[in-house]
Amino acid sequence: MSAAGQTIVVAPAEFEAIEPDAPRKRRQRETKERGAISAADRRRPVVIVTMWILQIVMFIGLLIAGLGPIVWSARASLSSSQDIISDPMGIWKTPLHWGNLEQAWSGAQIGSSLGNTVIVAVGSTIATLFVSATAAYLLSVLRPRWSPLLSGAILATLFLPGVISLVPLYLTILKMPVLNISLLNTFWGVWLPAGASAFNVVVLKRFFDSIPRELIEAARIDGASSIRVFTTVVIPLSRPILGVVTLLTIIASWKDYLWPMLVLAAPNLQPVSVTLANLPNGAMPFAVQMAAVFLTIIIPVILFVVFQKQFLRGVSSAGGLKG
């Protein structure tokens, strides 16, 4: 309002010149108003109650879908075969049979199979981390002249189904080139192919690319060799993504069935995924088979519950580094 009583109209451009943060504040207001329900409607009691009800219903549905099969398998493992077959959803009131777990652990050889699974998972993880990390370091940091060709070849393998390479890989394991030895019925036949993962190489390379080059150049100026740069600079900064790759490798090794079945034909070397599929139907009660399935499920669940903070922290911080 001017002295003569006239209103002064300020143009948007002039207003933005006076208020530099006006566009940002306007965008924030527009962003807040976007959505199916406006900010004003969210403050209404009816909307608040409805949203709470929907959230509770969705949470209960997710809880039933996630924990329901695990809880049912736990109860089925402590029930009789007749109760499970006659009324699968009525086993909650039946007597408990704790002997099913003991029979599954010893009679079905679940204990030894779980030990083999741990050996396969640990060896596959070590092989994957070594091969993938060194290959990603070569392509991202060392960068030889032929690195673009190698990167293209690695990316090309991602478009090939795994079944296509199954026969050549089996023939390679059957008679190793140069060495002329067979890796059948050895854990090496499972560990070595697991290390050649193109996906993990690409993921680690993308993370290594985000590491500030100033840190690597500073280490080289101080006289650090390529191996020392890899072990003291790149690896410590890459712990989040290495944790994610470790988790993915363990999960893949734990549930893998086809390749261990082909390579590990000896029953005393087979992991739990192969042992469960080979359980005799007629010679072993159905309740004991359910107990074996429950023992196979509960161990990864316990491991995830114990180390969930480390896993989730690794996943959340694996997006890159801030310079």
Which range is least confidently modeled, 53-57, 83-87, 216-220, 303-307? 303-307
Alpha carbon distance 247, 151 (integer Å): 24
pLDDT in tens, 176-205: 888 889 999 999 999 999 988 899 999 999
Give the single-character DSSP code of 5.
Answer: S
* Long-range contacts at 133-139 (CB < 8 A, ≥ 24 apart): 133/204, 133/235, 133/238, 133/242, 134/230, 135/201, 135/204, 135/205, 136/201, 136/204, 136/205, 136/207, 136/208, 137/208, 137/230, 137/234, 139/201, 139/205
pLDDT in tens, 168-177: 899 999 988 8
83/149 same-domain check: no
Structural domains in the chain (count): 2
230/291 same-domain check: yes
- What is the percent of the chain where pLDDT is above 70? 84
- Which one has a higher pLDDT value, 151 or 316? 151
Residue 211 included in any domain: yes
95/130 same-domain check: no
Residue 209 included in any domain: yes
Residue 2 included in any domain: no
Residue 168 included in any domain: yes
59/163 same-domain check: no
239/127 same-domain check: yes
Residue 282 included in any domain: yes
Residue 143 included in any domain: yes
210/150 same-domain check: yes
Q: Are 288 and 107 in contact (CB under 8 A)?
A: yes
Give pLDDT, residue 28.
Answer: 58
Give pLDDT, residue 313.
Answer: 66
Domain C-terminal end among 53, 80, 102: 102
Q: What is the mean pLDDT of residues 272-277?
A: 87
This prediction's pTM: 0.75
Residues 6+ positions from 290 with CB-CB distance below 8 Å: 73, 76, 77, 79, 84, 100
How sure is the predictor about 323, in pLDDT bands with cuts at 50, 70 and 90? very low
Q: What's at 165, amino acid-wise?
A: S
137/158 same-domain check: yes
46/165 same-domain check: no
240/174 same-domain check: yes
Residue 53 pLDDT > 90, yes or no?
yes
Give pLDDT, residue 261.
Answer: 92
Residue 209 pLDDT > 50, yes or no?
yes
96/118 same-domain check: no
Give pLDDT, residue 47.
Answer: 81
Side-chain half-sphere CA neighbours of 255 within 13 A: 7
The residue range of the domain holding 121 is 111-316
197/62 same-domain check: no
Residue 18 pLDDT > 70, yes or no?
no
Q: Mean pLDDT of all residues in the chain?
A: 82
163/188 same-domain check: yes
Looking at residue 157, which CATH number applies to its domain? 1.10.3720.10
How sure is the predictor about 15, in pLDDT bands with cuts at 50, 70 and 90? very low
Domain C-terminal end among 65, 81, 102: 102
